[in-house]
Amino acid sequence: MIPELKIISKTDETSSIDYKDGCVLLVDKPLEWTSFDVVNKIRGVLRHRYQQKKFKVGHNGTLDPMATGLLMIFTGKYTKRIPEFERRDKRYTGTIKFGCTTNTLDREGAEKGQAPIDHITSALLDDTKAQFIGESLQEIPIFSANKIKGKAMYKMARQGQVFKPKVKTVVFNEIAFSNLKLPFVDFDLECGTGTYIRAFARDLGQKMDSLAYLYSLRRTQIANFSVENAFSIEDICQRIRESK
């Protein structure tokens, strides 16, 4: 039997946690930090806390730099248990901008293109979202860490290489739109593992005879764990420093 995971949230007592034995920390990733930045910051504090040159820290479910929200940070012996959380549903909120796009499909890239948006209505959005619910194929963004013949697609794209992007099967369980104020619309959705929300924004624009990109993104939930219970980076680092 697999032992129950020790999940630590911001309301839990942390003074006597054995981070070497392992636990999972719920952390709210800040804007413009990579997921690795969060891992590296916590690893550095743990190395200093235990006076060790090396300390195992990992995460489940990468977030792009322009996204914020929930990361599950695994410490010590728990890094071996990361695969247990690979196939968990995730919930996101955010904003999509219609009428143009970017090469990265989010705000990291410069806007380009121009497409009509006057025909976009709440009713059309509701009709279109039905085409995404359930299982479908999604073209992976070229600016992603996914690899082709061992080389990351984003590196190939930055070098100007032309290649056929990979396609994968994704699942959307729920999609809701709100606050439509063109060219923007807010969304709240739940999807399966490995789904690119940037690609969802791109595909939504195409299905509505327009262009679109992901303007903002926040992961609010992984399985039944909520970002509302997550530590800020500053808080968890201070908790680790003050632990016994």
> How many CA atoms within 13 Å lie on the side-chain side of 142?
15
Assess whether 97 and 55 both reside in one domain: no
**Residue 165 pLDDT:** 78
The predicted model gives 201-208 an average pLDDT of 97
pLDDT recorded at residue 166: 83
Residue 56: C-alpha distances to residues 89, 181, 240 (Å): 25, 45, 15
Smallest CA-to-CA distance from 193 within 168, 230, 218 is with 168
CA distance 66 to 175: 21
If one counts the domains in the chain, the total is 2
Q: What is the pLDDT of residue 1?
A: 34
Q: Does the residue 1 lie in any domain? A: no
- DSSP annotation of 155: H
pLDDT (tens digit per residue) in 136-165: 999 988 776 777 767 776 777 677 777 677
pTM: 0.92
Q: What percent of the chain has pLDDT over 90?
A: 77
- Mean pLDDT for the stretch of residues 3-27: 91
Q: How far is residue 123 from each of residues 68, 76, 104, measured CA to CA in Å?
A: 29, 50, 28
Q: Counting Cβ atoms within 10 Å, is residue 238 exposed (0-12), middle (13-18) or buried (19+)?
A: middle
Residue 14, domain extent: 7-86+224-242
* Active site positions, annotated: 64
In a shared domain, residues 95 and 206? yes
Q: What is the model's pLDDT at position 3?
A: 56
Q: How far is CA 18 from the centre of its chain?
A: 28
Q: Which CATH number covers residue 66?
A: 3.30.2350.10
On whether both 107 and 27 belong to a single domain, the answer is no
Judge whether 98 and 117 are in contact, CB under 8 Å: yes
Residue 66 DSSP label: T
- DSSP code string of 87-117: T--EEEEEEEEES-EETTSBTTSPEE-----
